[in-house]
Structure 1
Amino acid sequence: MINLDGILVVEGKDDMVALNRVVKANIFVLHGMTGANNKKIDYLKKLSQNTKIYLLTDPDAAGVKIRNKINSKIENVINLYASRKKATRNNNVGIENMSDSDLIEIFKNIRENKEKNDIKDVFSLKDLIDNNLVSSPDSKLRREILGDKLNISYSNAKTLLKKLNAINITKNDFNKALEYVEKYLDVKEKNACIFGKFYPVHKGHVNFIKNASKYCKNLYVFVCSETTRDEKLFMESSLRKKMSIKDRINCVKEELRGYKNIFVYEINEDGIKPYPNGWFDWAKRVNMYLDKYDIKVDYVFTNEIADIKNYKTYLNLEAKSFDLDRLEFNISATKIRNEFDKYIDFVPESVKRFQKG
């Protein structure tokens, strides 16, 4: 839970409910564009004389209008920004759609406005042109990635320049973000995959997959089954109901609903020596399924550092990893299977419903 010293202004009640899960703050609800009236803004202006005002609106056209209106009437509002991609679910854009981990990221690196006597432009249009943020075929994508990395959201060129000069962003911050943009673009148009038993899928899995989907064109999630192993996992577990491969795939799909670049498939591992052995035969099986599904992948995501070398040796795939220490969700499917009730908070709704049914 993040403690926020000040008033956090949001658009709606659903936003407040979502934010209350991760932030301890005095939350002021506007109730949309109609609620962002002069009376409320004047009230916030009076409060701003003695306390900080944080503003977090939806990353859509209405949110921009509300943000601009409030900023035009209240000085030194601390603007917080959400990624449009992270806030979109089933074509609906809203803060309430974001995962807890994505909401936390918004508050990790809050950038306050410059002091009044320190408002001199550090960035110029030349900085944007020189770094292909304007007048380039992929300028829009570059600005989107840069905005997410700097926690200032996507902007057109004019607004981006205004944000860069109004907020405490240094040239060093800018250059580091540009390095990230180049690395991101290097893999953005490539396909990636993730392998796992997902017995059961948990919030750590879901967070890992969603994060990975930002770094590729298409992400293929392979749910692996092996009859003898899966039966043994269930018999030795505290799970109430056995999960077939179909059940696991359905749960994974439900938790990733709305992510249009994520696709879920099965790989049957019957007859292959159990992990960590059998890599040669397993790789042959994987390639068989890739041909069957007519899928081409360029690299694999994993948080198992011991597997990185084997992916290269047997599948000729580069392995990329992040959150190796599982800092965001320090959980494993083994822990959940062994003590389901103890770790219920790490279990997504789809699995909870299945186990209760």
Structure 2
Amino acid sequence: MKIKEVIVVEGKDDTAKIKQAVDADTIETNGSAVNDAIIEQIKHAKEKRGIIIFTDPDYPGQRIRHIVSNAVPGCKHAFLSKSEAKAKHDKGIGIEHATKDTIQKALSSIYELTQEYSSELTREDLLQYGLLGGNKARSRREKVGLELRIGYTNGKQLLKRLNMFQISKVMFIETMNRIIQEENNE
């Protein structure tokens, strides 16, 4: 699998793991201290080939994603869930712990964040499907983030992310119905 865009990752272990899974070039941020030189490199790569931001599903990874996407608008995004990025024998979470198949799947399900998005989904939709408040809300948000490949968010950010990635109401409802059906079968 060849990736045209340059993939922004956190470090050299992520680069090594991605190169095992796909044919791609990366830019490493070297952690969450993203400096101006790295941002300029990312801007240049975006103009020439496009950018996919692919950071760890933890606080530092979300922080890097936020810094880069604010400094370089129009980047694409790929996500792993925490369970997909969990190390087998220690407590580490990161792209470097993911399987080749999981990385390929994440990179084949990329989203382009749009600044001007229509708010097709509403807070009421989230309430109707038990994604805000209640004892199943967190679990359901984790499942919907995984199913739609948009990453985990808290209740406040879920609506924003669903609309930014232009998840249609139909796709959202189908996904939520699947999740609820699976819960009922457990």
Same fold, judged at TM 0.5 (above): yes
Percent sequence identity is 26
How far residue 113 of structure 1 moved from its aligned partner, in angstroms, is 2.8
How far residue 184 of structure 1 moved from its aligned partner, in angstroms, is 3.0
How far residue 187 of structure 1 moved from its aligned partner, in angstroms, is 4.7
Structure 1 CA distance for aligned equivalents of residues 92 and 155 of structure 2: 25
Within the alignment, does 1:24 sit opposite 2:5 as a pair? no
Structure 1 CA distance for aligned equivalents of residues 10 and 83 of structure 2: 18
Structure 1 CA distance for aligned equivalents of residues 181 and 2 of structure 2: 33
Cα distance per residue 1:106-125 (max 9 Å; x no partner) = 022222234x5x52211121
Structure 1 CA distance for aligned equivalents of residues 178 and 17 of structure 2: 29
Structure 2 CA distance for aligned equivalents of residues 18 and 183 of structure 1: 35
- Residues 117 and 166, structure 2, Cα contact 8 Å, conserved in 1: no
Structure 2 CA distance for aligned equivalents of residues 180 and 144 of structure 1: 14
State which structure, 1 or 2, has the greater radius of gyration over its C-alpha atoms.
Answer: 1
TM-score (norm 1): 0.49
Question: Where do residues 128-277 of structure 1 align in structure 2 (5 Å cutoff)?
Answer: 128-187=126-185
- Residues 111 and 169, structure 1, Cα contact 8 Å, conserved in 2: no
- Residues 79 and 150, structure 2, Cα contact 8 Å, conserved in 1: yes
TM-score (norm 2): 0.92
Cα distance per residue 1:221-272 (max 9 Å; x no partner) = xxxxxxxxxxxxxxxxxxxxxxxxxxxxxxxxxxxxxxxxxxxxxxxxxxxx
Question: Gaps spanning 5+ residues in structure 2: where?
Answer: none
How far residue 64 of structure 1 moved from its aligned partner, in angstroms, is 0.9
**Matched residue, 1:99:** 99
Structure 2 CA distance for aligned equivalents of residues 48 and 102 of structure 1: 24
Structure possessing the higher relative contact order (Cα contacts under 8 Å, 6 or more residues apart)? 2
Question: Where do residues 108-119 of structure 1 align in structure 2 (5 Å cutoff)?
Answer: 108-114=108-114, 119=117
- Residues 121 and 168, structure 2, Cα contact 8 Å, conserved in 1: no
- Residues 21 and 100, structure 2, Cα contact 8 Å, conserved in 1: yes
How far residue 104 of structure 1 moved from its aligned partner, in angstroms, is 1.6
**Matched residue, 2:7:** 8
Equivalences, count: 184
Cα distance per residue 1:283-303 (max 9 Å; x no partner) = xxxxxxxxxxxxxxxxxxxxx
Question: Gaps spanning 5+ residues in structure 1: where?
Answer: 189-357
Runs (4 or more) in structure 1 with deviation over 6 Å come to: none
